[in-house]
Amino acid sequence: MANEIEQQVEELGKKIKLLQKNQQKDQISIIAFSGDLDKMLAAMIIATGARAMDTEVKMFFTFWGTAMLRDPKKSGKGKNVISKMFGCMLPKGSTKLKLSKLNLCGMGTTMLKGLMKKKGVPSLEELINIAGELGVEINVCEMSMDLMGFKREEMIDYPNLRYVGVGSYLADADESRIQLFI
Amino acid sequence: MTTEELNNLTADLVIDARGTACPGPLLAAKKAIGEIESGEIMEILSADEGTKHDIPRWCDKIGHEYLGFTDLDSYTRLFLKKA
């Protein structure tokens, strides 16, 4: 009788271990795709807010979102003509991003930034700094870098910036309780 | 806690987050919580409406005891006890 119970307890223990291993973590995965100022702001506010709640955050910057991570003070060497063109046409960093709606040739963007300053909302640049301090993990899509002709040396200095493929994103997202496409 | 009880509380640490808007106050609370000991009281001053909802949820998630808030003219005082 005691033997049976012992066995059952052992089996239960194994099942619990397996369940714990496969459980989703207190983690949020965010794909930063759009590269629009308003959307990137939302992404960074969610990311820093999540860290405040002790939730792990893994961001995956891809396509137009990659442009947000360019450092306006740096440049990449050895680009071909198409890459140089892309480099000119795409925003050079977070300060150059535009609103997805009501950009009004830049007026809307300027007005929003002014409003944010007036109301004490942190700017996108401040949020990126805060994110770095709080340990928001930023992964950059290697393929997007390649397509848009961005070089690693022209990206901002962000703690532990990694260059990965979609497999990494998917593996991370699989563990996360929340996934967002921004 | 009642408003009277809250008004009589002396916080061990006061965080003035009135100049910032979401997610400012929440981040300020998170940053400052390390400066007090378990069982001590933290007071957060905020002019942002969202904070009244954020702080209780944050306390709930992390395990701190949310004590309540008092509304003043232009800002709110929120109180919590560190877990």
Domains annotated for chain B, with CATH where assigned, are 3-81 (3.30.110.40)
Residues 18..77 of B with a Cβ closer than 8 Å to A: which?
19-24, 26-27, 29-30, 54, 57-58, 61-62
Q: What is the CATH number of the domain that holds A100?
A: 3.40.1260.10
Q: Which tens digits make up the pLDDT trace of A80-131?
A: 888 888 889 999 999 999 999 999 999 999 999 999 999 889 999 999 999 9
Grouped pLDDT means (10 residues each) for chain A, 182 residues: 90 89 87 96 96 94 96 88 89 95 93 92 94 96 92 94 93 93 96
Question: What token pair was written down for A170?
Answer: 């998917």
The pLDDT score that the predictor gives to residue A35 is: 95
Give how many domains chain A has, as a whole number. Answer: 1
Cβ–Cβ gap A45/B19 under 8 Å: no
pLDDT of residue B3: 83
Is B59 among the catalytic positions? no
Write down the catalytic residue from B1, B11, B13, B22.
B22
**Residue A163: beta bridge partners?**
A140
Complex ipTM:
0.79
Residue A7 lies in a domain: no
Contact across the interface for A48 and B27, Cβ inside 8 Å: yes
Does residue A28 fall inside a structural domain?
yes
Does B83 contact A at CB distance below 8 Å? Answer: no
What is the three-class DSSP state of A59? Answer: strand
- pLDDT tens-place string over residues B1-55: 888 888 888 889 999 999 888 888 999 999 899 999 999 999 999 998 889 999 9
In a domain, A3, yes or no: no
CA-closest candidate to residue A131, choices A37, A61, A52: A52
Domain limits for position A103 = 24-181
Residue A49 lies in a domain: yes
| Residue A133 is assigned to a structural domain of this protein | yes
Residues 6+ apart with CB under 8 A from A63: A33, A34, A35, A141, A144
pLDDT of A83: 87
Do the chains contact at B24 and A122, CB–CB below 8 Å? yes
* Residue B8: per-residue pLDDT: 85
Q: What pairing do the DSSP bridges indicate for beta strands A25-32 and A176-181?
A: parallel
Helix (H, G, I), strand (E, B) or coil at A34: coil
